[in-house]
Amino acid sequence: MLEIRPNCECCDKDLAPDSTEAMICTYECTFCVTCVNEILENVCPNCGGGFVPRPIRPKVARRSGLSISHQPASLKRVHTQCSIEELKAFAAKTKHIEPQDR
């Protein structure tokens, strides 16, 4: 089950569980759409994969026990250890390869 991390790992912007600005890679690395587009250029700085919009967990349990109130989002904030320059340099090496071909 997705952790639904509470922030962008790059700029630390709050990303509420229902945010449409949250993007994730296959390992759930979480970044805001602005950082994905303007800094990372759709290259995850951790795994090198691409990003997709993070799904939004339902607010209402339309099936018993399946909602954000039953499986709450993570409260643990995650931050990258890389500088903006390091993130851009990593992305520059990989961005020309389509995510499905990485």
Q: Which of 55, 68, 67, 74 is closest to 7 using CA atoms?
A: 74
* Measured distance CA(66)–CA(53) in Å, rounded: 20
Q: 22 - beta bridge partners?
A: 32
Q: Which of 16, 9, 10, 12 is closest to 72 using CA atoms?
A: 16
Report how far apart, in Å, the C-alpha atoms of 67 and of each of 26, 61, 76 are.
22, 5, 19
Coil, helix or strand at residue 86: helix
What's the confidence (pLDDT) of residue 16?
97
Is 56 within 8 Å of 65 (Cβ atoms)? no
> What are the residue ranges in the chain where pLDDT is below 70?
none
Q: How many residues in total does the chain contain?
A: 102
The structure's pTM equals 0.92
Locate the domains of the chain by residue range. 22-94
**pLDDT digits over 70-85, tens only?**
999 999 999 999 999 9
